Amino acid sequence: MIILGVGGGIAAYKACELLRLFTEGGHRVRVIPTASALRFVGAPTWAALSGEPVADGVWDDVHEVPHVRLGQSADLVVVAPATADLLARAAHGLADDLLTNTLLTARCPVLYAPAMHTEMWEHAATRTNVQTLRRRGAYVLDPAVGRLTGADSGRGRLPDPAEIFAAATGLLRRGGRPADLTGRRVVVTAGGTREPIDPVRYIGNRSSGKQGYAFARAAVLRGAKVTLIAANVTLPDPAGVDVVRVETTEELRVATVDAASAADVVVMAAAPADFRPATVSDQKIKKTVRNTAPALKLVTNPDIAAELGERKPAGQVLVTFAAETSAEEQALASARDKLVRKRADLIVVNQVGPGRGFGTDHNTAIVLTADGGSVPIGERSKIELADAVLDLVLDRLSLSS
């Protein structure tokens, strides 16, 4: 059973969408709103959507001892939105309503999705409360950046319900395993770069960014502070991740080199364009009367992974990718050469083509290691593949500690 705690913020209405995702995913959900939350969304709404009774106080159905039993029987507790007040009460162990009692008795993973104004999120008291909860083993997502109540914008927006759902189901999949990347800084690149030909056209590739986004989600659930550098990706921002948006390979290079300087782990899941036009027209290139195509001169783009390998500080783990279309033996030989040349620690080799790799929700890979090892990863979801690779990363971080 999943407990969905709902705090008293305007974002409470978005929890209805989160509840729908849980129930459609086959989960039994018991909603526990705070009294303030019920001023935004009434109990009949929660009861109708969940098919379960709804109460906010400890005096309802006392014979069932709900303030103890609900927490004891839960497989996961998700609090969304988690207001500044609710985070403070949870951090200080207060138990003045059914939700805070449940938080005290829960022995399952607890996920908080904060939502509040930027000033409240950045206040020292809130930051301390968040650190306290994380130190105790709770998962507290960083809020998203965007439109808040009224005309205000900034960090404090509730993450997209689909992203909270992804984080919650990820915790269920991990089965309560510890956040083993806590305190680590992880940089992930994702998507495909575009090199302009003129104001209308560009050279690009088929990368959707799904594998890089899966790495970002997996790393956040393992406690890491994640920076995701996204090249032309249209997916919603992963919850709890700082997203930097770029377009060209040079923009990707600048952003990645800067972020990687303080990172413990760098995962180069993006697909940078290998070439770019030598010149870019400032006007749309027109067809000629004779319908002849203009010659397009290309130059080579910088090798970002190789540059990171040269700059790699002691103890940092660099993960690169090799998207291959050749036969396995030839693909592995090519990837092994890339691994050495780029001075990476791991290289993830995967076959791409129609229905494989780019744009799909599943992936199959072989991971080559700098010490000559080879780890096959059978077909699985992209986030499961990301977790498998992060297990290998963690082994190398432990060796360097």
Please name which of 41, 46, 53, 35 lies closest in space to residue 12, comparing C-alpha atoms. Answer: 41
Q: How many CB atoms within 10 Å of residue 245?
A: 14
d(CA 35, CA 97): 8
Q: Which two tokens stand for residue 151?
A: 């005309």
Helices 249-260 and 304-311, axial angle in degrees (round to 10): 20
Asked if residue 66 has a cis previous peptide bond (ω within 30° of 0), the answer is no
Please name which of 65, 174, 13 lies closest in space to residue 109, comparing C-alpha atoms. Answer: 174
d(CA 118, CA 6): 20
Catalytic residue among 101, 129, 205, 301: 205
d(CA 47, CA 66): 16
d(CA 353, CA 192): 15
| Residue 205 falls in the annotated catalytic set | yes
Active site residues: 205
